[in-house]
Amino acid sequence: MERRLIPSPRTLDDIDIKRRDLIGQGWGKLERFTFRHRRFDNQWSEEVTRDLYTIGEVSMVIPYDPTLDAVLLVEQFRTCGLYWGEATWLFEAVAGIIDPGETPPEVAMREAMEEAACAIALPVLIATVYSSPGGYGERTHMYAGRADLSAAGGIHGLAHEHEDIRAVAVPLDEALAATTDGRIRDAKTMLMIQWLAINKSKL
């Protein structure tokens, strides 16, 4: 057993991209990469082809009220369940795509206002993650931010973005319970709530 988890020293020099083709473009884009990569025995792999879908870079934030010990979540329809024949209205943290010239904290604060009419303090970074690294290129910056949730709630969203979003404030303990009983199914939101339960004193 290794005593510490130490990443292997790898750089872009350890990846040999042979082709990069755009094979689909809509709300996001689908690209096909053909490449070799350095193996753990230091030899080059055979050529591999993988498809990668991405909509870009995203910022997420979970507003937290230390006075109420409560968090704000948003509920909205997501298309992910259609593949599986499910109707997926999901509880999630506030999130939005980072546009050119914006920083992740700026987007976190902007989206909190757009999706929940919630003003948050300068957010604290939880982590930057790849949500599904096997075939999805989205990179997500996750934050927590202090907020006054005493009057939070209601229906929000931007009409021109076809948003229909219900904001709801609940005790942190209730949100944490929802990560274990199936009510919260977004993995990033689960991680953020669990982080907050451990680290809320940092806000």
pLDDT at position 163 is: 79
Alpha carbon distance 27, 44 (integer Å): 35
Q: How many whole angstroms separate alpha carbon 1 and alpha carbon 175?
A: 35
CA distance linking residue 98 with residue 74, whole number of Å = 19
Specify the pLDDT at position 157: 80
pLDDT at 159: 74
Active site residue 161: yes
pTM over 0.85: yes
Rounded to whole angstroms, the Cα distance separating 169 from 68 reads: 10
Sequence ranges of the domains in the chain: 12-54, 57-202
User: Domain 57-202 belongs to what topology?
Assistant: Nucleoside Triphosphate Pyrophosphohydrolase (3.90.79)
Please name the residues in contact with 33: beta carbons below 8 A apart, sequence gap of 6 or more. 17, 19, 20, 49, 50, 51, 52
**Choice among 46, 75, 106, 161 that is catalytic:** 161
In the chain (203 residues long), the average pLDDT of successive 10-residue segments reads 94 98 95 98 97 96 98 96 96 96 97 95 96 93 98 87 90 98 97 97 91
Supply the pLDDT for residue 70.
98
Q: What is the pLDDT of residue 76?
A: 95
pLDDT at 24: 96
What's the CA gap between 37 and 49, in Å, rounded? 11
For 125-131, the CB contacts below 8 A with 24+ separation are: 126/191, 126/192, 126/195, 127/191, 127/195, 129/188, 129/191, 131/187, 131/188
Note the pLDDT of residue 201.
93
Residue 135 has a pLDDT of: 92
- Helix (H, G, I), strand (E, B), or coil: what is residue 17? strand
